[in-house]
Structure 1
Amino acid sequence: MRLHRTALALCLALGPATALAQQPPPPPAAIAEARERYQRGIDLFEERNYDAAMAEFQRAYELTHNPAVLFNISATHELTGHFVEALDAMLDYERRAPAAAVQQRRADVDAALGRLRSRIGTIVIRFEAAGLDVRVDGLQRPRSSGNIELRVAAGRHRVSLSAPHYQSREAEFDVAGGSTIVVSEPLTPERAFMAVECNVHGAEVLVDGHPLATTPVTSPLPVPEGSHHVVVRRAGYTTYETDVNSVGAGARVRADLAWADPMPRDVGARVTVQANEPDIVAMIDGRRVASDGTALVPPGRHTLRVERADFLPDEREVDLAPGRDNALSVFLLPTPAYRQSYSSSRRRALIAGGVVLGVGVAVLGGGAALFFLNEGTLSDAIASRDANQSELTACARMAVCASTRSPVQVEQARNDASVDVDNATTLRWASVGIMGAGLITSIVGTVLLAGAPSGSRFERQAALVPRVGFTARNLQLAWSF
C-alpha cells in the first residue's frame, strides 16, 4: 500500500486541518516533533518494521490530531492483520479529513474500504445475562446486558463468555469475511455447593423437599444457587430445619439433633448393659442411661461408654435395633493401681486365712492326740478304782482281806485310783475343748480363705462363674460376667 506522504507535510506546515480549525492550534514544538515522528514512521514502514512504525504514527497523531495521519495508521494496521482497526482508522480519516484531500485519494480510500470490509466478519451474542463478560482471543470486550456485535478479522477466533451465577463457556469459531455468526445458546446457571454436618449418623438430608444424602455427608452437595429449605431428620430424634442462601461453595449447615422426648416406644431401642462388675455407669452418646433395660434411646449407631471407679472405661460403637431390647455385654478391666492393690489384698487375705487354718488344724490335731492318749489312762484308772473297791467290799464282808494288803491299804489304793479317774476325766474334757477350739479356728481359716478376693476376677474366661463371699452378717453369692 502507498503511504500518504505529501498531504501530511502540507498539513503540518499549515498547522491543524481545516476541520479542526475550531480547536486551538498545537504549539510549534508539537508540530515539529510530529513531523519528525511521521517521517520516522514512513522510514520504519518501508523497512517493514510495522510495529515501530505504528508507534511513531500514533504519537504523531496524538500531538496534532491531524486526520491525514489516520490514512497511514490504517495502512499499517492492514499490513499487520488488524483489519477491524484498519477499517475504523480509514473511516475516521474519511470522516475527519478535508473533503478535497479525501477526494484526491478517493480511489485509494474506496479500494481500502472494500478490501477491509471483505476481510471482516461479525460475531453476534444474542442472549440476556447481567454483567456478561466477553473476551475474544483473550482480550476483554465491553460488558453489556443485551445483544453484542463483535467485528473480528476473518479467521479462527476463541470467544469466552462469563457472567455472575453462570458457568463460563469458551468456543472457537471460523469467521469468513463478510459473514455473521450468531451465538444464542444461553449460559448454564452455575451450581453452588452446600456442606452439611450432623452429630447423628444415618440422618436423612432433604433440600427443598428432595432427599439428597444421608449423614455423614463426606463432600459438599451440589445445589442450584439461591435460597433453599434444608431438613435433617431421623427417627427417634428432633428434626432440624433451616433456610440457607447458597452461593458458590460458602453455604454450610450444622444440624445438631437431640433425642426425642418422649421417645416413642415403637421407635426407641431398649438397652440392657451386662458387665463383669456391679455399680457401673452406662452412657450413650455422652448421656447417662439406666442399664437394666428400662432406658429408651434412638435406634441406630451410637457410642456406648461404661465406667466404674477403679476400672478403665470401655467405649465402643454399637448398633441398636428399634422397638426391642438390645443386650450389650461389657468386660471392664481394672486400672493398674487397683489391680496391684487388689492383688496385695488377696495375698494378705490368703496368708491370714492360711495361718489361721494352719493354727486351727494344729490345735485340733494336738487336742485329738491328747484325747486319745488320755482315754487309755482314764480306762486304767477306772479299772483300778473298781478293782480296789471290789476288794475293799470283800474285806468288809469276810473281815479278812484275800490279799496281803490291809483294808487300809486297799482303801488308800481305791482313793488314789478315784483321784486318777477324776484327773483323766478333766483332761478328757480339756482335750475336747482344745479340739473344739482347733475346729473353730480351722473353720475361721477356711472362711477367710474362701472369702479372699478371687484370683480370676479380671480374667475373661472366668465369665459366668459363681463368686462366693462371706461377710460378718451373711453369705453373699454373686455372678461374675
Structure 2
Amino acid sequence: DLQKLAKEYQFSLVTNPSDATVHIDGKLVGRTPLNVTLEEGTKSISVSKAGYQTYTETFVLNRNISKSITLTSMVQNYQLSVITSPSGADIYVNNAYIGRSPLSVTLEGGTKNLRIERSGYETYTENFILDRSISKSITLTPQVKEYRLSVTSSPSNALVYINGTYQGRTPLTLTLREGSYAIRVTADGYEDFSTNVTLASDRQVSATLYAKKARLTIETEPTNASVFVDNVYVGRSPLSVDLDAGRHTIRVEKSGYITDSKDVNLAAGTSSSTKITLIEERPVARITISSDPSNARIFINGKDYGRSNRVVELDPGYYEVVLVLDGYRVSVTYRYFGKGDHNLSFNLSRID
C-alpha cells in the first residue's frame, strides 16, 4: 500500500494580553505570540494566563491559519481598608467617591488610583494593584500656606536678610510659607534694624534706619576742663561722647585759661580722638583812671599811657601813677594793683 503523506500548515496565534501559555492537543507548544508548523487535522487549543479565563477551541487545520484572541479577565474581589491621620478624610478610588476614613470596602481586583482629600491638608494620591486584600495607614501632610511679606526701609536700597539669608534690597516683596521669620535690614552707616514676624497673613515691615553714632574721645591739657559740643555741655575732660556723623564744634573752657574750640568731622560708626591744649590766661589788673578835670596826661612808672579818662591793663604789681594837666598841680599815687578791676580817681588842684 502506498502511505499517504501528511501535509503541514503554519499556525500563528497572538493574544491580548500576550505571554499566555498555549497547549495544542494537550501538548505545551509555547507562549504567545506563537508561530508553529503543525500537521493538518483537527486541533484542540487551550490558552491560559493567570488572572484570566482559560480559552479553548477545536478547529480544523487544513490551511495556514492566524488567530487573535482577547482573553477574558477573571473578576476577583478584594478588601481595601484605609485609615488616615487625621481621620474624616474623603476617599476616592479611580475618581469615584467611596466614603470617609476610616473605611473598609470590597473592590474588584486590578490597578487602582487612590486619592485622599481633607481640608487643610495636602491631597494624597497613590497608584497600586489590588491583587489581594490590602490595609493602608496614611498620615496626611498639613497644607502649606503661603503669604506675602513686604519690606520697606527709610532710607531705601537697604540689604534684607531673612533667617540669616540675604534676600535682596528694599523695597522687597517675597512669598513665604506660613511660619516665624527673623528679619534684619542693614545699610552702610546705619544701625541694623531687626524684628521677628509670624506669617499667618500678608505682612508689611517698615524699617526706619538710624545713622550710626561716631565715638569721639576728647582730651585737654590741662584736664578737668568743661567740654561743650555744638554749644551743649557734655562733661569734663577727659571724656568720650557718641555723636551723629558729620561736623561738630568742640569748645573747651577752664578758669584761668583762654577758651579754645575746634571743628571735627566724624564718620558714622568710627572712633576718633582729639586733644585741645589750653593757653593759660595772663593775670591782668584792669585800672579805670579818671580825673576832674579830665584830659590829664597819665604816666605809669614813667611811661605815657595817654590821657584821662581811660582804662589801662597792667600786670598785677606796684605802680606809680602820675597825672599832669597844664594849670594844675601834678597828682601822684603809688599803690599795689592786684588781678581784677580797679578804679582810680584824681581831683586835680589849680595852680594859683
Give the helix-richer structure, 1 or 2. Answer: 1
TM over 0.5: no
TM-score (norm 1): 0.29
| TM-score normalised by length of structure 2 | 0.38
